[in-house]
Amino acid sequence: MAAAEGSLVPEGRASLAAFLLGASVAALPLLLSAPPALLAGPGLQGRAALALHVAGINALLRLLYRPPLYQIAIRACFLGFACGCGLLLSFGQSSWRHFGWYMCSLSLFHYSEYLMTAINNPRSLSLDSFLLNHSFEYTLAALSSWIEFTVEKIIYPEMKQITWLSTVGLLMVIFGDCLRKAAMLTAGSNFNHIVQNEKSDTHTLVTSGVYGWFRHPSYVGWFYWSIGTQVLLCNPVCVVGYTLASWRFFRERIEEEEFTLIHFFGAEYLEYKKRVPSGLPFIKGVKVEL
């Protein structure tokens, strides 16, 4: 996984090429001289075009890459395909347009997690960096949001056509994801998806940039991104559920992480903790008895 400084490791290059190949499904309307709605709709012609596109790309990836690069490429391609399909829904006249926004947001979030890790901290890069298998609870939350959207759309379709509310959700998503990626870029090789129990020689306390605003900007970004996805979908039940579940998760995660950071940096981190808020509402972090 070694690469020259400033260059993207082979895994990162393979993932980027595969993501763009998958996203190329959004260009099918231009190639076929067909409206986006034809491909995004339930018609046989659209399904056949999508199936042939997927089969062709999968064959190409198998020719280009061997394991383990193929496992990376196929996941990145899947996310690119989801993003491309989201674009088709977004620009079509379908009543699923806002769900298309959601598909783009979700796929870009997960792919950019991998890409940022490949750029910043390639030593920790793995298939888990896509965060597709984050946890059972995360998967259950995603399934719940899709079920709520579909059921409410069937029962009360007008509820899913509140464009101004979905736009607010989209802005929350963009803000949250940009803040998280800014935190990853600022932290550089200090950022890791897994809380570290041992301090490496290169591990430093980052207090500049977005870390001067919040102690945990990546968690703040993820918190508002996750809630924003449900505002975007106009899912009232999941808005409440995601808010409570995310708040509880990050409260526990921040306490766990701050125990480690105090152990690593001692008084330096305690001074930083006094000066800069966590960034999440009603979460002050670990309490230290002096």
All structural domains of the chain with their residue ranges: 7-133, 134-285
Tally of CA atoms within 13 A in the half-sphere of 273 that contains its CB: 19
Prediction pTM value: 0.92
Angle in degrees, CA 150, 156, 162, rounded to 5? 90
Q: How far apart are the first and last CA of the chain?
A: 44
> pLDDT value at position 2?
47
> CA–CA distance from 7 to each of 3, 69, 83 (Å)?
6, 17, 26
Cis omega (within 30 of 0) for bond into 68: yes
> pLDDT value at position 7?
78
Tokens standing for 170? 């989209």
Burial grade of 252 (CB within 10 A; 0-12, 13-18, 19 or more): exposed
> pLDDT value at position 168?
98
> pLDDT value at position 21?
96
CA pair distance 114, 216, nearest whole angstrom: 19
Q: From first to last of the 290 residues of the chain, give the pLDDT tens digit.
A: 445 445 799 999 999 999 999 999 998 877 666 655 555 555 666 678 788 888 999 999 999 999 999 999 999 999 999 999 999 999 877 889 999 999 999 999 999 999 999 999 999 999 999 999 888 999 999 999 999 999 999 999 999 999 999 999 999 999 999 999 999 999 999 999 988 888 888 899 999 999 999 999 999 999 999 999 999 999 999 999 999 999 999 999 999 999 999 999 999 999 999 999 999 999 999 987 65
CATH 1.20.120.1630 fits 134-285, yes or no: yes
Residue owning tokens 């007008």: 158
